Amino acid sequence: MSDHESGEQSQHPHGAHGAHGAHGAHGAHGAHGRVPTPGERWAAFKRSPFLPALVLVFILAAAAGLFAGSYTYSMANPTPHHVPTAVVGTPDAAHGKAFLGGMEKALNASLEVRRYDSVAAARRDVEEQKVFAIVEVGGGEDKKVTMDVSGASGASVAQVLAETAPKVGERVGVPVVVKDIKPLQEGDPRGLAIFYISLAAVIIGFVGAIQLSVHARGLNPAERIAFTAMYALLGAFVIAAVVDWWLGAVRLPFVESWLILALTMFASGMVFTMFNTLFGRWAMLPTWGLMVLLGNPSSGGAVSWPLLPSVLGHIGQWLPPGASVNAQHTAVYFGGHQHAFPFLVLGGWALVSSAVFWVWRHRHPGGRGVGAAHAA
């Protein structure tokens, strides 16, 4: 073979390869340079992290407004709607009718009068939290009215009654004496400590479940429930210990208060776990809506139920925050008169949430396979 032919053969493959490479590069450049269709752009946007981030921007903005609005609606201007009040003595006397009529007018007909034969019977119902005040109308020469309020039954209600009664008495010409027969503890003059410790249990309850789903994703269903119960018991103990033993703000019946807080935290954690099973990464939305936007303002902790808008007052008793405040409030101030209802509410939410999670546990975005666990 001549040098000329050898040179041509050595150049030919290179030339062919170069031509092919140039053609391929041109084709690739053409494909890359093509303008994506709107459908392709939307598909790429849905696969990107920008879609959930954008959705969260609008959700958080709406949540901020709803959060402020829910608390403002229920607490900014509390108005009596339904205040059960015991009446003893001679309410049919002229001065008694004048005072009760004046109170009805001043409170927009929200006073629900219940007649009792004796002050002792009325005080028993104060302890049972069936009435919020006692009006004793004097008879004969005694033309005065005594109003016994119960700060422990509801500080906001007691304040409204204590401020209104003397003004009404002065207007109708009846002497009025106001006494607080069940005052709040000195370390909690506004009665808000119980609301705050219950709020802490609710918030940490579902935040703990969120953290388990993020940092302990591999927990199997039974393990997840067990660890939720563990942080609920320990967290509730710390809340009670800080408020009572360390700060001395409220003297708690420690074991009972601890267990109420633990049940609250567990129920709150399992509510998030249930929603996480049903709705995946958007579980925070129904949890926040149920527990914070609706549950806390309607709990009766910051504003007593008789002063809340009537719908909220009824709904709040059936939600975990309201049940927790109810049970804790009775434990602290009305020992020996505890009711089963708030425990049934808390236990019901915990049981239903756990059952939903357990039945649809295969949908929960967590856990580990049997094989992985065996290999480990």
Look at residue 273 and tell me whether its pLDDT is greater than 90: yes
C-alpha span between 263 and 236 (Å, rounded) = 9
Instruction: Return the structure tokens found at 129.
Output: 């939290």
Per-residue pLDDT band at 305 (split at 50, 70, 90): confident
pLDDT at 93: 87
C-alpha span between 91 and 87 (Å, rounded) = 7
Instruction: Return the structure tokens found at 35.
Output: 């303008």
Per-residue pLDDT band at 232 (split at 50, 70, 90): very high
Residue 257 one-letter amino acid: S
- Name the β-bridge partners of 148: 134, 179
pLDDT at 28: 47
DSSP, collapsed to helix, strand or coil, labels residue 146 as strand
Q: Residue 194's CB: how many other CB atoms inside 10 A?
A: 28
pLDDT at 365: 86
Nearest to residue 204, comparing CAs of 70, 320, 75? 320
Look at residue 321 and tell me whether its pLDDT is greater than 90: yes
Structure confidence by residue, pLDDT tens digits, 64-116: 887 777 767 666 666 677 889 999 988 888 888 999 999 988 888 678 889 99
Going by C-beta distance under 8 Å and a sequence separation of 6 or more, which residues neighbour residue 370? none
DSSP, collapsed to helix, strand or coil, labels residue 179 as strand
Buried b / exposed e over 98-107, threshold 16 CB at 10 Å, is: bbbebbeebb
Residue 209 backbone phi and psi in degrees, to 5: -65, -35
pLDDT at 25: 46
Global pTM reads 0.80
Q: Residue 125's CB: how many other CB atoms inside 10 A?
A: 16
Alpha helices in 37-154 (DSSP H): 38-47, 50-75, 94-106, 119-127
Burial of 31 by CB count in 10 Å (0-12 exposed, 13-18 middle, 19+ buried)? exposed
**Mean pLDDT of all residues in 130-147:** 87
Q: Residue 164's CB: how many other CB atoms inside 10 A?
A: 19
CB 219 within 8 A of CB 367: yes
C-alpha span between 95 and 109 (Å, rounded) = 18
Q: How far is CA 165 from the centre of its chain?
A: 34
Look at residue 19 and tell me whether its pLDDT is greater than 60: no
CB 354 within 8 A of CB 266: no
Residue 185 has what DSSP assignment? P
pLDDT at 78: 65
Of residues 228 and 31, more confidence is placed in: 228
- Reported as half-sphere exposure (CB side, CA atoms, 13 A), residue 217 has a value of 6
C-alpha span between 296 and 348 (Å, rounded) = 18
**Mean pLDDT of all residues in 25-33:** 51
